[in-house]
Structures are given as C-alpha cells and as structure tokens.
Amino acid sequence: MAEFRNRDRDCDKCDDQRIIEYKNKAELEVMCEGQKHKVISNLAETRKAEVEIHKSVDKRCVFENEIVEYTVTVKNKSGFKLCGALFIDKLPRGLKYVENSFKVNGCHKHASVVCDEIIFDLGGLDCGEITICFSARVM
C-alpha cells in the first residue's frame, strides 16, 4: 500500500509552511493606560490537502526470482504546494526492493528501505502529477 504523508515541520522552500486543519485566531486582552484593549491575530486559513494516489504492478502472476515493476501516480489536486511530502510504500511479504530502481518522473533517486518500507522524501509537492516507479524481486 502506497502512502503519502505530510511531515509536520517547517519548510524553508515553500510558501505554505504546513497544512492547517481548522480556522483559528488568537485574542489577547491587554491593559494600556487603564483601559482594556483586545488584540486579534491574523486568521489561520483552512487548507486541506487533496492528494490522489494510484498504484499498479506490471505482472499479475509471478514466480520466484522474477522482478515486478510498480508504478505509483501521485496527484496534488490541492491548488497549492505541499511541504514535507514523504512517500512510503510497504512491500508485500515475499518481495525485496531492487536497489537503485527508484525513479521519480523517470529520474533515478535514492530511496531508503527500512524493514519492508520504501521511503523517499519528496520535499515540496507542486500541484499536478508525478510518477514514481520501482522494482521488487520475488523471493
């Protein structure tokens, strides 16, 4: 199962620092020269990430030692750049990631493999679509 996660951290390269899930404002009452004044913060707008993920594999029936290729299409339909985009895919039991097979839009990238999870830091995810491909060997 492929996942897309938004890391909860600031990103220097993005205008949108993080996705805020609710509208909120801060109010502060201050005393100035014996009178109460209310100071209101700017409004934090709701921005909901709209991400569509589709995963496919090139073979339906495989035998030991065969290699299968996965293709994952990620669409950012949010209308704004997403920061801290992290791609995580857990391989099914009996498959092993083929080293150096990870590609984003046709360009080879280095993905980490922890246990059976393939992890790749996409950084900022612009609006539009990217294609991720990688291979796994049947053990």
118 lies in a domain? Answer: yes
User: Residue 104: what pLDDT?
Assistant: 97
27 lies in a domain? Answer: no
Q: Which domain holds residue 105?
A: 2-17+49-138
56 lies in a domain? Answer: yes
23 lies in a domain? Answer: no
97 lies in a domain? Answer: yes
User: Residue 37: what pLDDT?
Assistant: 65
Give Cα 129 to chain centroid, integer Å.
12
130 lies in a domain? Answer: yes
CB 109: neighbour CB atoms within 10 A? 15
User: Residue 29: what pLDDT?
Assistant: 64
Structural domains in the chain (count): 1
User: Residue 88: what pLDDT?
Assistant: 92
The whole-angstrom separation of Cα 100 and Cα 15 is 32
**Opening angle at CA 41, ends 40 and 47, nearest 5:** 135
Whether the CA torsion 75, 79, 80, 84 is positive or negative: it is: negative
User: Residue 39: what pLDDT?
Assistant: 65
* CATH code for position 84: 2.60.40.1170
8 lies in a domain? Answer: yes
35 lies in a domain? Answer: no
Average pLDDT by stretches of 10, the chain with 139 residues: 51 42 54 69 66 91 94 91 88 93 97 93 91 96
